[in-house]
Amino acid sequence: MTDDRAVALEAIAAQVQTCTRCALHKSRTKAVPGAGSPYAEIMFIGEGPGYNEDKQGLPFVGRSGNYLTELIESIGLTRGDVFITNVVKCRPPENRDPLPDEMATCRPYLDEQQAIIDPLVIVTLGRFSMGRYFPGGKITAIHGRPKYEGGRAYIPLFHPAAVLRNPALEEPMAEDFRRILDVLAEVKRRRAGDVADEAPAEAMAEAPIEVPPPAAPPAKTAPPPPASPQRSLFETLPPEPAAPAAPPEPPPSPDDNKPTQLSLF
Ligand code: URA
């Protein structure tokens, strides 16, 4: 049983690595399916591969990846304890924003990864993954605030690259990270039947935090049946609606080499 999830995730990775369903495959060096534990309780979802990720085929391995690793370790975990992936699995040329049709085309891969891993907490990094779970959400108002739904929590966080560009976000980001394990414990409590999903989370009741402008292996519930490794996700999954449009705000760059932007994401 132990390897079922790993086998299913590897089957998805194999499909991602040879995927030609959108134009991003033409300019990629390597596709980046995601990495981490098939049994992760916490799943991090970023935007898309940048320069370093495209070269290595691994998520978050550049400067913002090093920072993400530091943050994960700051709460006593390692990258091997969690699962890290992106909304699009191939690098957009010049690190432009992923297009809605690219996100929609790539969506079955992320949907299936999420279904296989069945994480208790999903942490979104930046506005594109936030838009998937918090349509219309504004990061300055909702960052670090968990939403409890369907026996899981979703936490929107700043994109690590945005924090690197704006040191004023470092402390709020560190604080949001420190909250992740509390949220995980709360999900376990709720799954154990102590608290209903509908009860508002205490964190949601707090006033929005003003963000200063930029300066210049635990027990899990039963896993869902993994998808057949032999069949394409696009054959096995029902059609999904396109991802909701992200709020019209300046984007983060998944590329650590990209010039400084003023976006919070
Ligand atoms: N930024 C992202 O959003 N994802 C990565 O994998 C790397 C940088």
CA of 265 from ligand 1 middle (Å) equals 11
Domains along the sequence of the chain with CATH: 4-217+229-236 (3.40.470.10)
Q: Provide the 10 A C-beta neighbour count for residue 67.
A: 18
CA of 232 from ligand 1 middle (Å) equals 25
**Local confidence pLDDT in tens for the 265 residues of the chain:** 458 999 999 999 999 999 999 999 999 999 999 999 999 999 999 999 999 999 999 999 999 999 999 999 999 999 999 999 999 999 999 999 999 999 999 999 999 999 999 999 999 999 999 999 999 999 999 999 999 999 999 999 999 999 999 999 999 999 999 999 999 999 999 999 866 655 444 444 333 444 445 544 444 444 444 333 334 444 433 333 344 444 433 344 444 434 333 333 3
33 lines ligand 1 (CB under 6 A): no
**Predicted TM-score (pTM) of this structure:** 0.80
Q: How far apart are CA 151 and CA 149, in angstroms?
A: 6
Q: Assign residue 249 a region: left if phi > 0, alpha if psi is -120 to 50, beta otherwise?
A: beta
50 lines ligand 1 (CB under 6 A): yes
Q: How far apart are CA 110 and CA 100, in angstroms?
A: 15
Sequence-separated (6 or more) residues with CB below 8 Å from residue 124: 45, 130, 132, 133, 134, 154, 155, 156, 157
Ligand 1 closest atom vs CA 52: 7
**Of 123, 186, 195, the residue nearest 158 (C-alpha):** 123
